[in-house]
Amino acid sequence: MNIKKAVTDYPIQHALADRWSPYGFEERAVTEADLCSLFEAARWAASSYNEQPWNYIVATKDNSKEFDQLLSCLVEANQAWAKAAPVLALGVVSLRFAKNHKDNRAAVHDLGLASGNLVVEATSRGLAVHQMIGILPDKAREVYQIPEHFEAWTAMAIGYNADPATMPAALKERDLAPRQRRPLGDFVFAGQWKHASPFVSKRDT
């Protein structure tokens, strides 16, 4: 049973309602087949001009040296819990279009779309993903020799949810906390800023 399943106001796909970001992970490994499918889902994300500006650097606990290397690219607070995950990944984005070398304003958005695809695919397979902005981009550039005009932007921990009962108190509290989201009327507008779209306001009354 998913104790964090979203209580939605309107029907959505199960994988979207089931998705959440745990702080606790089991020691259980993620299969190579599942990892391939996760990144295949990312591969088929939409992107501006089909640029596909995303890149991922992946490390699993099967290779402790590579895992520790990637772990070192996270801020200390994230290292504390992410070290338990069986898989870590860095999301690296190309900030310029390959065809004309102009700035790509959609690049980070498109990395997000790719990672969103990956997360939904993971959830549908019973896996969990916790995405992080708390990384050390300069450290990542040094460690992985990331070229100019590319930047490590995010990270993710991938694995299976741990039983909260086995977790330290602070992490257990986070994983058991109820999920909350703003109502649609707070961010779906029409006509002017902060004016809820009629289709939203009609349903909320």
Name the H helices within the chain.
Answer: 14-18, 32-43, 64-71, 76-82, 107-124, 137-144, 169-176, 198-204
Structure tokens at 191: 């006509």
The maximal CA–CA distance of the chain, rounded, in angstroms, is 57
Confidence of residue 4 (pLDDT cuts 50, 70, 90): confident
CA 99 to centroid of chain Cα atoms: 28
**CA atoms within 13 Å, Cβ hemisphere of 157:** 29
The structure's pTM equals 0.94
Integer-rounded Cα Rg, in Å, for the chain is: 19
- Range of lowest pLDDT (24-38, 40-54, 164-178): 164-178
Confidence of residue 168 (pLDDT cuts 50, 70, 90): confident
3, 172 contact by CB (below 8 A): no
149 in the Ramachandran plot: left (φ > 0), alpha (ψ -120 to 50) or beta?
left
Residue spans of the domains in the chain: they are 14-164
* pLDDT given at position 114: 98
Instruction: Tell me which CATH homologous superfamily contains domain 14-164.
Output: NADH Oxidase (3.40.109.10)
Confidence of residue 2 (pLDDT cuts 50, 70, 90): low
Kindly report, residue by residue over 83-132, the tens digit of the pLDDT.
999 999 999 999 999 999 999 999 999 999 999 999 999 999 999 999 99
Q: Is the pLDDT of residue 1 over 60?
A: no
* pLDDT given at position 202: 67
Handedness of CA 170, 175, 177, 181 (dihedral sign): positive
Beta bridge partners of 131: 156
